[in-house]
Chains A and B, each alone.
Chain A
C-alpha cells in the first residue's frame, strides 16, 4: 500500500501507516481546539453579548492551550468507593471510539487513512462504542448522580443511533456505495437536472435526511437540547462528575473530537466533502481539499452549536418520544421515497 503516489515515493506499509497515524493524531486535537475556540469560546460569548477570553494570546487564542495545561496539572482523584480499573479505563474507551471515526473521513482526493468499502457503516459502528465508555464511567464513579447520568445517556444514545443510521441510508442508496470516498465522487460527478457545474450535493435531494442527521448527531454528541446526561444544572456533570484532571480532558477532547468528526461525516455525505467545482488535480487538489472540507465542517458545526446555545433541554421521555415516534418514521419514509425515485429515475 503506498501513499501519495503524486510525490512518487514508494513507502512500505508501516511507514505509510505511521504517517497516517501521525496525521490523524495531529488533526484530532487541532480540530477540537479550533472548534472549542471558535464556537465554545467566541461564538457562544458573542451570542451572549460578551467577549469571551481575551487575555491569553491575542483575542484569547491561547486560552485553549492554557485550559489543556490546567487540566493536565490537576491531581488525579479517584473516589474512595470507585472501581479503579473501570474508572480509569472509561475515558480511554470513549476517546478511542472518537479516534477511530477519523479513519474513514476523506480529506482530499487521495487523503484518507483507509478507504473502506463499508466506510459509512464502519464510522457509525465505531461511533456507538462510546456508549460503553459512558456506562463504565457512570457505574464506576460510585455516585448516584453519575449513575443517573450514565443511564440516561445509554438510553439516549441507543435511541438516536437509529435515526442517524437511517438518515444515511438514503444517501447510500443515492450514491450506490458505502465508501465515503465513493460518495464524494458520486456528488462531484453528479448532475442536477443535467446541469453539472456544481455536481449534485446530496443536501438538495436528501434535505430531510440532512435535518434528521443533524438532530441525531446533536443527540449523539449529548449537546443541548439533548444534553440530559450532562444536564449541568441537575446532575452537575452527569457521568463525568467524579472525573478531574487529564481524565476529564479525555472526555472533553472526545466530545469536541466527535463533533468535528460527525460534522466531517455530515459534510462528506451531504455537502460534497472535499469537492468544490474547479478543484485542481494533483498535489494542489490534495492541499485544497482539506481546506474545503474544513470550511464545510465549520458550517455544520456552526449549526450544531447554534442550536446548543439557543435551546433549553428536553426531558428524557420527551427525548425518547422524538426519536422513536418522529425521527425514525420520518427517516424510514425518506428511505422509501429515495428508493422508489432511484429505481424510477
Chain B
C-alpha cells in the first residue's frame, strides 16, 4: 500500500476503547474481568497537581494501587548543572512553590559551608523568621485544603484570607509573594523595611486566631473526625522504611525534627519551642500535628522578632561567586518534610551536580502500601492528609 493512498476508514469508538485498554496495560496491569481500574488523575481535583494514582477497585474498596509521578518533571537537577549559583537560587524557589523561602535555605547553607562563609547573626535570624513564615504560608493552605477534599467548602476561604497577611509581609520585604528569591550566599538581599516587625506581629496574631477558628469549625467537627480517625494509619516502622519525613512521621509518634536535631546556623536554638507528635498515625493525627506546628511557628516568629539582633545582613563575599571544589550535604526541616541538597562543586560559577532530595517524593511512595483495602473516599482523605506538592515530587 503506498503512502498516498487513502487508508481504510477508522472505527473511532473501537479504536479509543482499544487505546484505553492499552494505556491500562502499560502500567503492568493484567487485564482481568473483575475489578474496575480507576485513574485518579493526572487531572483531578483531589491530587494537588498532576499526580496519577491508578487503583483497582473491588466495589468501592481498593485492591491495588500505584502512584505514577513525573507529569510535572522540569529537569531541575540537570538545570542546576548549567546555571550559576544566583540563577539556581531563583529556580529552586519553584520546587515547593508554597513553602517559598524554605527551598532556598538548604542550598545556600550548603554553598556557604563549601565556601567557609558564615552569614552575620541578623541575617541568620531573619532567615529563620522567613523560614517559619514559609511554613505558616504552606501549612495554613493545607489546613483549609484538607477541608475541601473532605467536602467542607468554607475553611479554605479562611485559610486564603489569613495567609494573605503573611504573603503581603513576604512581599513587602522581598518583592515577591510566592518566590522571594531573598537568600544570598553570605546573607540576605535587603534588610527589612521600616514597620515590618510590628506588622508581622499583627499577622501572627491573625494566624493564631485562624487556628482557633479552624479548631472550632473543622477539627472539632464530628463528621471530620469520623472521616479521618483511623484512616490511613502509618505505623512508625513502615513510615521510616519508606523515608517519610516531616509532620507525616511525627504524627506516627516519631520525635524527629531537623530544626532541633541537626546542626544548623539558623536561629532555632535561640528560641523556646516544642516539637509536636501524635501517637495515632492516622489522617486526623497528621492534621492535628500540622495545626499545632502552625501555632508553634507563630510563637517562634514572635520570639525571633523580639530578640532580633542589630547589624549587617551580608558578610563579605566576592562579587563573582565561585564556590571552591568539594561536596556537601545540607538538609532542613521544610514545611513538607526533610529537604536536602547534595552539592558537588568543581570550583565553577555554578554547581557541577546538585542532587535534590525533596520530601514529597518519599511521602508519596508509601501510597502503594497505604491504599490497600481502603475505600475510595478514604483514598481522597489519605491523599489530602499526606500533603504533597507536585513540584516537590517531580522537581
Residues of chain A within 8 A (CB-CB) of B46 are 233-234
Chain A residue nearest to B222 (CB atoms) is A311
B150 near A144 (CB under 8 angstroms)? no
User: Does B326 interact with chain A (Cβ within 8 Å)?
Assistant: no
Residues of chain A within 8 A (CB-CB) of B158 are 48-49
A80 near B377 (CB under 8 angstroms)? no
Name the distance in Å between B189's Cβ and chain A's nearest Cβ. 34
A312 to B151, CA, bound (A): 4
A81 to B15, CA, bound (A): 12
Residues of chain B within 8 A (CB-CB) of A313 are 150-152, 223, 227
Residues of chain A within 8 A (CB-CB) of B99 are none
B380 near A318 (CB under 8 angstroms)? no
User: Does A203 interact with chain B (Cβ within 8 Å)?
Assistant: no
Residues of chain B within 8 A (CB-CB) of A228 are 377
Q: With A49-B161, A236-B45, A316-B60 in contact, do A148 and B152 touch (Cβ < 8 Å)?
A: no
**Which of A50, A234, A312, A313 is the most central at the interface, judged by chain B CB atoms within 10 Å of its CB?**
A312
A313 to B375, CA, bound (A): 14
A314 to B158, CA, bound (A): 22
Name the distance in Å between B161's Cβ and chain A's nearest Cβ. 5
A44 to B152, CA, bound (A): 12
User: Does A255 interact with chain B (Cβ within 8 Å)?
Assistant: no
- Taken residue by residue from 218 to 240, chain B's Cβ proximity to chain A (1 for < 8 Å, 0 otherwise) reads as 10010110110000000000000
User: Does A309 interact with chain B (Cβ within 8 Å)?
Assistant: yes
A168 to B2, CA, bound (A): 75
B16 near A80 (CB under 8 angstroms)? yes
User: Does B91 interact with chain A (Cβ within 8 Å)?
Assistant: no
A81 near B152 (CB under 8 angstroms)? no
- Taken residue by residue from 141 to 181, chain B's Cβ proximity to chain A (1 for < 8 Å, 0 otherwise) reads as 00000011111111001100100000000000000000000
Chain A residue nearest to B380 (CB atoms) is A234
User: Does A317 interact with chain B (Cβ within 8 Å)?
Assistant: yes
- Taken residue by residue from 375 to 391, chain B's Cβ proximity to chain A (1 for < 8 Å, 0 otherwise) reads as 11110100000000000
B377 near A316 (CB under 8 angstroms)? yes
- Taken residue by residue from 106 to 128, chain A's Cβ proximity to chain B (1 for < 8 Å, 0 otherwise) reads as 00000000000000000000000
Chain B residue nearest to A234 (CB atoms) is B380
User: Does A47 interact with chain B (Cβ within 8 Å)?
Assistant: yes
User: Does B192 interact with chain A (Cβ within 8 Å)?
Assistant: no
Chain B residue nearest to A224 (CB atoms) is B151
- Taken residue by residue from 18 to 58, chain A's Cβ proximity to chain B (1 for < 8 Å, 0 otherwise) reads as 00000000000000000000000000100111100000000
Name the distance in Å between A114's Cβ and chain B's nearest Cβ. 38
B154 near A314 (CB under 8 angstroms)? no
- Taken residue by residue from 130 to 151, chain A's Cβ proximity to chain B (1 for < 8 Å, 0 otherwise) reads as 0000000000000010001000
B224 near A312 (CB under 8 angstroms)? yes
Q: With A144-B36, A233-B46 in contact, do A309 and B154 touch (Cβ < 8 Å)?
A: yes
A316 to B153, CA, bound (A): 19
**Cross-chain contact of A80 among B12, B153, B218 (Cβ < 8 A):** B12
A315 to B378, CA, bound (A): 8
A315 near B377 (CB under 8 angstroms)? yes
A227 near B12 (CB under 8 angstroms)? no
Q: Of residues 1 to 45 in B, which have CB atoms within 8 Å of A's CB atoms?
A: 12-13, 16-17, 36, 38, 44-45
User: Does A232 interact with chain B (Cβ within 8 Å)?
Assistant: yes
Residues of chain A within 8 A (CB-CB) of B271 are none
User: Does B217 interact with chain A (Cβ within 8 Å)?
Assistant: yes
B153 near A224 (CB under 8 angstroms)? yes
Residues of chain B within 8 A (CB-CB) of A232 are 45, 151
Name the distance in Å between B5's Cβ and chain A's nearest Cβ. 27
**Cross-chain contact of A47 among B154, B224, B375 (Cβ < 8 A):** B154
A176 to B152, CA, bound (A): 41
A313 to B384, CA, bound (A): 14
**Which of B151, B223, B378 is the most central at the interface, judged by chain A CB atoms within 10 Å of its CB?**
B151
Interface size on A, residues (CB 8 A): 28
Q: Of residues 65 to 114 in A, which have CB atoms within 8 Å of B's CB atoms?
A: 80-81
- Taken residue by residue from 246 to 273, chain A's Cβ proximity to chain B (1 for < 8 Å, 0 otherwise) reads as 0000000000000000000000000000
B13 near A310 (CB under 8 angstroms)? no
**Cross-chain contact of A227 among B151, B154, B161, B217 (Cβ < 8 A):** B151
B148 near A233 (CB under 8 angstroms)? yes
A312 near B380 (CB under 8 angstroms)? no
B375 near A317 (CB under 8 angstroms)? yes
User: Does A225 interact with chain B (Cβ within 8 Å)?
Assistant: yes
Residues of chain A within 8 A (CB-CB) of B147 are 312
Q: With A225-B223, A312-B147 in contact, do A233 and B45 touch (Cβ < 8 Å)?
A: yes
Name the distance in Å between B42's Cβ and chain A's nearest Cβ. 13
Q: Of residues 197 to 240 in A, which have CB atoms within 8 Å of B's CB atoms?
A: 224-225, 227-228, 231-234, 236
**Cross-chain contact of B153 among A44, A144, A234 (Cβ < 8 A):** A44
**Cross-chain contact of A310 among B38, B149, B154, B380 (Cβ < 8 A):** B154
Name the distance in Å between A343's Cβ and chain B's nearest Cβ. 37
Residues of chain B within 8 A (CB-CB) of A48 are 153-154, 157-158
A207 to B189, CA, bound (A): 65
Residues of chain B within 8 A (CB-CB) of A316 are 60, 375, 377
Q: With A80-B12, A80-B13, A236-B45 in contact, do A315 and B375 touch (Cβ < 8 Å)?
A: yes
Residues of chain B within 8 A (CB-CB) of A311 are 151-152, 221, 223
A314 to B378, CA, bound (A): 11
A81 near B13 (CB under 8 angstroms)? yes
Chain A residue nearest to B145 (CB atoms) is A233
Q: Of residues 105 to 153 in B, which have CB atoms within 8 Å of A's CB atoms?
A: 147-153
Residues of chain A within 8 A (CB-CB) of B161 are 49
A315 near B227 (CB under 8 angstroms)? yes
**Which of A49, A148, A234, A317 is the most central at the interface, judged by chain B CB atoms within 10 Å of its CB?**
A234
Chain B residue nearest to A48 (CB atoms) is B157
A231 near B377 (CB under 8 angstroms)? yes
**Cross-chain contact of B227 among A144, A233, A312 (Cβ < 8 A):** A312
Name the distance in Å between B244's Cβ and chain A's nearest Cβ. 24
Chain A residue nearest to B16 (CB atoms) is A80
Given pairs A225-B151, A231-B151, A315-B226, 10 additional interface contacts (CB within 8 A)? A49-B161, A81-B13, A148-B60, A148-B376, A236-B45, A310-B152, A312-B147, A312-B152, A313-B150, A316-B375
Selected A-B contacts with CB under 8 Å, 23 pairs:
A48-B157, A49-B158, A80-B13, A80-B16, A81-B13, A233-B149, A233-B151, A234-B376, A310-B152, A310-B154, A310-B217, A311-B151, A312-B151, A312-B152, A312-B224, A313-B152, A313-B227, A314-B223, A314-B226, A314-B227, A315-B226, A316-B375, A318-B227
CB-CB nearest 5 A-B residue pairs: A313-B151, A48-B157, A312-B150, A312-B152, A312-B151
